């Protein structure tokens, strides 16, 4: 009995992911905002800030876009699971997935733990792994296709135009992020559609690391199932992948229009497509951020990268841009910390507690 309990504890990789970990990204994010305000604060700037004529409507639009963002993720998950997940389960998975992404560095995200989330909602480990890999492939494919397209439609000096001394820095961040995504996509595509046994070998090599060795037998079983599921994926018609990519497109595109809606809540804004394009580049740059969920880094990049589109006097721009960055993060980041902190303990109790159901 004791060994069984010990095994259950060992099999729970969420033991190190606790709601209390929301404290670190909150401290970092708010700390950076406070520091930026301390450096740039101008009390008179807030006297020029007021809600636009249709401001509250645009706030609602921003929130609706966040709903569409999550809805796109849920629809994609339902498509890839082919009816083996209910809408409620898919919603729960996405909320937990976003929470773990919010408390881990952007380069890590919640992908590794997402396999467990899907598995504990009723799918096999191998199939859960294949679905998570497929979602990652679709996500990164969106970036890989959109970034060069935006470079073609928006001139590079407009896309990165923040003045002398800033362009090179932003270009370097973007190219590093794009390169990492390209390598990741090539590995995933090769493993899922060309040589799944090679991907299984890579997984087994990773699980030979001392910190992961205890799960090597499970990794071997998962690798075998991935091979089987990849065969199924390769048999899927183009329509299947097209629907999954449309859901991906809905999700990410909705995410990038949120900042536009927030800015429209206060100002008359033009160049909406450029703002959209810069947000996509921002997320690529955030891949190199070592902080949980890009905390701090995201706020700084927002103020420097989207401040050009805030129509206020230069003396007030710094303060107003920081305020807009904080509102943007309140809409797009902090809700997932709160939802995750509420949902995760109950979910862990139901899946790993004494009365949990197997699988």
- Tens of pLDDT, residue by residue over 190-230, are 877 888 787 778 777 777 767 667 767 767 776 777 777 77
Integer Cα distance of 330 and 336 in angstroms = 10
Instruction: Please state the pTM of the whole predicted model.
Output: 0.82
Instruction: Write down the pLDDT at residue 1.
Output: 40
Q: CA torsion angle for 182, 13, 105, 110 (degrees, to 10)?
A: 50
Query: DSSP assignment, residue 84?
Result: S
Within the chain, which residues score under 70 in pLDDT? 1-21, 37-38, 40-48, 106-112, 161-169, 209, 211-212, 215, 218, 222, 353-359
Query: DSSP assignment, residue 32?
Result: H
Single out the residue of 116, 95, 105 nearest to residue 28, CA to CA. Answer: 105
**Residue 162 contacts residue 281 (beta carbons within 8 Å):** no
Instruction: Write down the pLDDT at residue 10.
Output: 41
CA atoms 20, 98, 114, 199: torsion sign: negative
Question: What's the first-to-final CA gap in the chain, in angstroms?
Answer: 19
Integer Cα distance of 69 and 250 in angstroms = 7
- For residue 105, the cross-strand partners are 292
Phi/psi region, residue 33 (left: phi>0; alpha: psi -120 to 50; beta: rest), is alpha
DSSP annotation string for 154-187:
S-HHHHS-S-TTTHHHHHHHHHHHHHHHHHHHHH
**Residue 143 contacts residue 106 (beta carbons within 8 Å):** no
* Helix/strand/coil for 105: strand
* Helix/strand/coil for 274: helix
Integer Cα distance of 286 and 198 in angstroms = 30
Instruction: Write down the pLDDT at residue 3.
Output: 44
- Tens of pLDDT, residue by residue over 275-323, are 998 888 888 777 777 777 788 888 888 888 888 888 888 778 888 888 8
Q: CA torsion angle for 312, 167, 154, 278 (degrees, to 10)?
A: -60
**Residue 348 contacts residue 55 (beta carbons within 8 Å):** no
Integer Cα distance of 343 and 335 in angstroms = 12
* Helix/strand/coil for 292: strand
Query: Which helix (H) or strand (E) element contains residue 205?
Result: helix 196-206
Integer Cα distance of 261 and 354 in angstroms = 46
Phi/psi region, residue 164 (left: phi>0; alpha: psi -120 to 50; beta: rest), is beta
Q: How many CB atoms lie within 10 A of CB 280?
A: 21
Instruction: Write down the pLDDT at residue 94.
Output: 94
Integer Cα distance of 203 and 208 in angstroms = 9
Domain extents in the chain: 24-44+51-346
């Amino acid at each position: 009995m004791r060994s069984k309990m010990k095994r259950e504890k060992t099999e729970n990789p969420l033991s190190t992911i606790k709601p209390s970990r929301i404290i670190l990204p909150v401290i970092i994010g708010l700390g950076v905002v406070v520091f930026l305000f301390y450096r740039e604060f101008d009390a008179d700037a807030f006297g020029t800030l007021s809600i636009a004529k249709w401001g509250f409507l645009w706030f609602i639009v921003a929130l609706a876009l966040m709903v569409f963002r999550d809805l796109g993720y849920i629809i994609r998950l339902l498509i890839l699971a082919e009816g083996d997940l209910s809408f409620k389960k898919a919603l729960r998975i996405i909320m937990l997935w976003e929470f773990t992404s919010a408390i881990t560095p952007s380069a890590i995200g919640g992908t590794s733990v997402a396999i467990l989330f899907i598995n504990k909602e009723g799918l096999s480990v191998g199939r859960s792994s294949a679905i998570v890999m497929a979602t990652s492939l679709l996500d990164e494919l969106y970036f890989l296709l959109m970034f060069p397209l935006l470079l073609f439609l928006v001139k590079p000096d407009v896309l990165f135009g923040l003045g002398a001394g800033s362009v090179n820095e932003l270009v370097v961040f973007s190219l590093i992020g794009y390169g990492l995504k390209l390598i990741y996509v090539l590995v995933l595509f090769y493993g899922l559609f060309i040589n799944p046994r090679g991907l299984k070998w890579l997984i087994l090599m990773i699980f030979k690391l001392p910190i992961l060795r205890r799960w090597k037998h499970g990794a071997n079983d998962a690798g075998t199932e991935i091979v089987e599921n990849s065969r199924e994926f390769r048999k899927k018609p183009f329509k299947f992948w097209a629907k999954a990519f449309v859901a991906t497109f809905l999700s990410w595109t909705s995410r990038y229009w949120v900042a536009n809606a927030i800015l429209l809540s206060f100002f008359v804004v033009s160049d909406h497509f450029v703002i959209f394009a810069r947000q996509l580049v921002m997320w690529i740059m955030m891949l190199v951020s070592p902080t949980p969920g890009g905390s701090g880094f995201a706020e700084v990049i927002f103020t420097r990268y989207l401040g050009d589109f805030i129509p206020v006097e230069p003396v007030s721009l710094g303060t107003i841009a920081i305020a807009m960055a904080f509102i943007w993060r309140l809409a797009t980041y902090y809700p997932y910390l709160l939802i995750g902190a509420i949902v995760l303990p109950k979910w862990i109790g139901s899946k790993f507690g004494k009365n949990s159901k197997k699988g």
